[in-house]
Amino acid sequence: MWAEGRVLLREVTVRYGRRVALEAVSGEFASGSLTAVIGANGAGKSTLLAAITGVVRLAGGTVECAARRRLAYLPQLSAIDRDYPLSVAELISLGGWREIGAFRAPRSALRQRIAAVAETVGLSGRIERSIGEISVGEFQRALFARLILQDATVILLDEPFAGIDPQTMSVLLDQVTRWHQEGRTVIAVVHDLDLVQARFPSTLVLARRCLAWGATEMALPVMAA
């Protein structure tokens, strides 16, 4: 169903000024795969997701992704300014960007879907709240609701579980599993290796270069070593 969900990297290199963040990473995220990206701080994990999304420019190599127009990206929480005056519903509604774009108003069908996805992540009663006054866990749930609404073929998650309460964590993990079952390609930066072991079939180990990439039981020992 999601045949176009493959992401192919060829010699992907990214530099910030003189610093090399990512060097000649090659490989393939198969369509419908669920992959954890792991590595030490500064290993280029976030950079890799940003490179696939097109947020940072490549210094070399190519990213091939037929679903570029059906790609959704969850940045790290710190990359989003929560002081901006915006309600949870308004934030989620951006997930309908392909429908509303920069200028159109959301139709009632979209508004119903917003309510539905808010319920899926357990935010039903809070969608009129401002994003500045809900908890970090609730904010991450709202961002997940936006991702669900985007209905993307390829979903990139940058540290989706960092600093999140256990209850929210289980809601978000269930959603990741659901995306995987629906055949979407999911790539997530994760720190908790036990979690990787338990829930992610594939793993990519980064240290600026690719150290290991494949089935989790094969790749994970490389990280531990």
Partner 1 sequence: MSLHALIVEPFETLAFMRAALVACLALALMNGAVGTLLVLRRMSLDGEVLGHAVMPGAAVGFLYAGPSPLWLSLGGLASGLAVATLSGLITRAGARRDAGLVAFYLVALSLGVVLVAWRGSNVDVMRVLFGTVLAIDQRALLQIAAFSSVIVIAIAALYRPLAVGAFDPAFLRAVGVRAPYGAVFSALVVLALVASFQAFGTLLAVGPMLLPAAAARCWGLGAAVSMALAAGFGLAASIVGLLVSYHADLPSGPVIVLAAGLLFGMSLAAVNAVRRLAPTLARGS
Strands 209-215, 202-207: pairing kind: antiparallel
User: Rounded to the nearest whole angstrom, what is the least distance from the CB of residue 6 to partner 1 in the complex?
Assistant: 18
Nearer to partner 1, 27 or 75 (CB): 75
Task: Of 213, 187, 207, 223, give the one whose Cα is nearest residue 27.
Answer: 213
Dump the DSSP string for 122-161: T-GGGTTSBTTTS-HHHHHHHHHHHHHHHT-SEEEEESTT
Give the footprint of partner 1 on residues 95-114 (CB under 8 A): 97-98, 100, 102-103
Residue 77 and residue 144 in contact, taking contact as beta carbons nearer than 8 Å:
no
- The answer to the question of residue 60 lying near partner 1 (CB under 8 A) is no
Cα(34)–Cα(173) distance, rounded to whole angstroms? 12
Cα(72)–Cα(158) distance, rounded to whole angstroms? 11
Choice from 62, 69, 201, 221 touching partner 1 (CB under 8 A): 69
- The answer to the question of residue 77 lying near partner 1 (CB under 8 A) is no
**Sheet of 19-29, strand order:** 19-29, 7-16, 60-65
Choose the stretch contacting partner 1; rule: CB under 8 A; options: 5-13, 77-85, 183-191, 199-207.
77-85
Nearer to partner 1, 135 or 181 (CB): 135
User: Rounded to the nearest whole angstrom, what is the least distance from the CB of residue 219 to partner 1 in the complex?
Assistant: 26
Choice from 50, 164, 188, 205 touching partner 1 (CB under 8 A): 50
Give the footprint of partner 1 on residues 192-221 (CB under 8 A): none
Cα(168)–Cα(136) distance, rounded to whole angstroms? 10
Here's the x/- map for partner 1, 141-160, by CB under 8 A: it reads as ---------x----------
Cα(202)–Cα(162) distance, rounded to whole angstroms? 20
Size of the site for partner 1 (CB under 8 A): 29
Instruction: Give ∠ CA 4-147-182 in degrees, rounded to 5.
Output: 50
Choice from 8, 59, 66, 80 touching partner 1 (CB under 8 A): 80
Choice from 65, 72, 88, 118 touching partner 1 (CB under 8 A): 72
Sequence-distant (≥ 6) Cβ neighbours of residue 115 within 8 angstroms? 124, 127
User: Rounded to the nearest whole angstrom, what is the least distance from the CB of residue 105 to partner 1 in the complex?
Assistant: 10
Provide the binding-site residues for partner 1, judged by CB under 8 A: 17, 50, 53-55, 68-69, 71-73, 75, 79-82, 84-87, 94, 97-98, 100, 102-103, 130, 132-133, 150
